[in-house]
Homo-oligomer: A and B are copies of this chain.
Amino acid sequence: MSPADVVVALDVGGTGMKCALVGPNGGTVRAERHPTDAGRGPDAVVDAILDIAEGLAGKARADGFEPVALGVAVPGVVNEAAGVAVWSANVGFRDVPLRDLAVARLGLPTALGHDVRAGGLAEARLGAGRGTGHVLFVAIGTGIAAAHVVDGSAATGAHGAAGEIGHILVRPGGPRCGCGRRGCLEAVASASAIARRYAELAGVTATAAEVADRAAGGEPAAARVWAEAVEALADGLATGQSLFDVETVVVGGGLAQAGPLLFDPLRAALHERMTFHREPRLVAAALGDEAGCLGAALLALDNLEK
């Protein structure tokens, strides 16, 4: 690739899209954000994705860059090999052949990826997991999902659904999860589960970040909810380590913003659970909410090299 080459990268989320032009070494030369506006339906979202991608390619050319590839990351179940957005709860995709649609519109080699796997890829190669071969990236926000990245590539699973750490059982008979089961990690330790549980116990509403602050301030209900979430997360990460045996666990997503209020007790609780295991390094994500977009760019670059 020439230094003037760029890839067009989009990370499509439930509420917003992070979009960028990224150079061959991972440097961002232009960044944009657009609303997803999922309420207008999946067809309109697909049109918006293609419009934005085409617009960015045009801006790249206007600035003297050459757009050489496109990478798009989307949530839900994604068949990377086929380039199909199989299913998404929050955007409404059902078997959308997004890669072929993009190729038809832009004429650029296109890679389709999964948002959390793309984020994990970026954290493993450019962010907090840089320099380590085996990384588990865990994104904790409204939901909880993970990406297992080995030697710079994220495991997709047989049907594009690998890494659903939010739906491993940690509390049998526990709170009902969105997936229909009880006691999933996501139902106990996601930001929304923490807020819900706190409202139940304290009778007032607060965000997970506020619960973390109140717990640090010694408020009993907040301290209890926060401790329960940290213990459940530690159980989930210990299960992940038992199965994956990674060097580094990178925790990102909204809950990671709690910083030491999360990482100090979580590191201690994980340490307690490591018996025969090699203890992984537990670190905060470094790329913030740009990880998915950078990961989409990496997928586009990897796809070019193939």
With A278-B158, A278-B159 in contact, do A243 and B172 touch (Cβ < 8 Å)?
no
Write out, one digit per residue, whether chain A residues 232-276 have a CB within 8 A of any chain B CB (1) or not (0). Answer: 000100111011111100000000000000000000000001011
Identical copies of this chain, number: 2
Residue in A150, A162, A180 whose Cβ sees the most chain B Cβ within 10 Å = A162
Is A102 an interface position by the 8 A CB rule? no
Residues of B within 8 A of A155 (CB): 150, 244
Contact with B along A117-149 (1 / 0, CB 8 A): 000000000000000111000000000001010
Q: Is B238 a contact of A162 with CB atoms below 8 Å?
A: no
Instruction: Tell me whether chain A's interface is mostly helix, strand or loop, or mixed.
Output: loop
User: What is the minimal beta-carbon distance from A8 to any residue of chain B, in angstroms?
Assistant: 29
In the complex where A150-B155, A158-B134, A158-B247 touch, is A273 in contact with B239 (Cβ < 8 A)?
no
Q: How large is the interface on A (under 10, 10 to 19, 20 to 34, 35 or more residues)?
A: 35 or more
Among A146, A239, A244, residue most surrounded by chain B Cβ atoms (within 10 Å): A239
Q: Report chain B residues within 8 Å CB of A160.
A: 245
> Distance in Å from the Cβ of A156 to the closest Cβ of chain B?
8
Verify if A277 is at the interface (C-beta below 8 Å from B).
yes
Bound-state CA distance A244–B165 (Å) is: 10
A167 neighbours in B (Cβ, 8 Å): 242, 275-277
**Can you pick out 22 interface pairs between chain A and chain B where the beta carbons lie within 8 Å of each other?**
A132-B158, A133-B158, A134-B157, A134-B158, A146-B243, A148-B243, A157-B245, A158-B245, A158-B247, A158-B278, A165-B243, A167-B276, A167-B277, A168-B168, A168-B238, A168-B239, A169-B170, A169-B235, A169-B238, A171-B172, A181-B273, A239-B239
